[in-house]
Amino acid sequence: NAGVMQNPRHLVRRRGQEARLRCSPMKGHSHVYWYRQLPEEGLKFMVYLQKENIIDESGMPKERFSAEFPKEGPSILRIQQVVRGDSAAYFCASSPEDRGNTIYFGEGSWLTVV
Amino acid sequence: SQQGEEDPQALSIQEGENATMNCSYKTSINNLQWYRQNSGRGLVHLILIRSNEREKHSGRLRVTLDTSKKSSSLLITASRAADTASYFCATVRSGGSYIPTFGRGTSLIVHP
């Protein structure tokens, strides 16, 4: 049973380019969470999605950031016109249901903006 | 602001010693979870303790929860060099959407 799969693991973008991060949840999981981690810091919640529905996006910047979890295919976190401050590790996690139980993390996508 | 805050920020011990990390939080919770993160890797779930539980064990791990003090502790007994990692607590609030909120973590180094 494959775990949460994230790709790419490492991504380098120049300022102003777009970054697309993908997350395939564990089999049978219908809920996806995205978190951002800056060096030496904890995880900051960004967005919580169910298939075809954004449940909570209170942690996501209003501009340049968007997320989706379509009926088919992986969840996508999209960052437009990246800036150096977007450099961070982005983690995706999934859970089978909306009951506040354990969430399972992927290995993360490390974005570097040069 | 972060819901959970771990203490200490960093902990350095010798192999065989016990390691204790604490987590304090601010609001009522549904449950509290502890995760481990090795450098450059994702988070791995260790233990979930519900608000009506006081203590849970898993192998060399022991977690306690004191809802009156809004705090939890993670004890790792007989530590090993392989336990070197960052440890995070995550709280899920009672009511509202079930989104685990993480603290800044405790960095544990176990010297062989």
CA distances from A55 to A16, B48, B78 (A): 29, 23, 42
Identity of residue A67: A
Residue A97: both structure tokens together = 């249901």
pLDDT digits (tens, 9 = 90+) for A38-66: 887 789 999 999 999 999 999 999 999 99
Identity of residue A27: K
Q: Using CA atoms, how far apart are residues B74 and B21, in angstroms rounded to an integer?
A: 5
Contact between B100 and A33 using a beta-carbon 8 Å cutoff: yes
Contact between B48 and A101 using a beta-carbon 8 Å cutoff: yes
Q: What is the pLDDT along chain B (112 residues), one digit of tens a residue?
A: 446 788 899 999 999 999 999 999 998 898 999 999 999 899 999 999 999 999 999 999 999 999 999 999 999 999 999 999 999 999 988 776 788 999 899 999 999 9
pLDDT digits (tens, 9 = 90+) for A83-107: 999 999 999 999 987 666 789 999 9
pLDDT digits (tens, 9 = 90+) for A8-37: 999 999 999 999 999 999 998 999 999 999
Identity of residue B108: L
Contact between A35 and B48 using a beta-carbon 8 Å cutoff: no
Q: Using CA atoms, how far apart are residues A98 and A93, in angstroms rounded to an integer?
A: 13
- A–B interface: beta-carbon pairs under 8 A: 54
- Exposure of B5 in the CB half-sphere (CA atoms within 13 A): 7
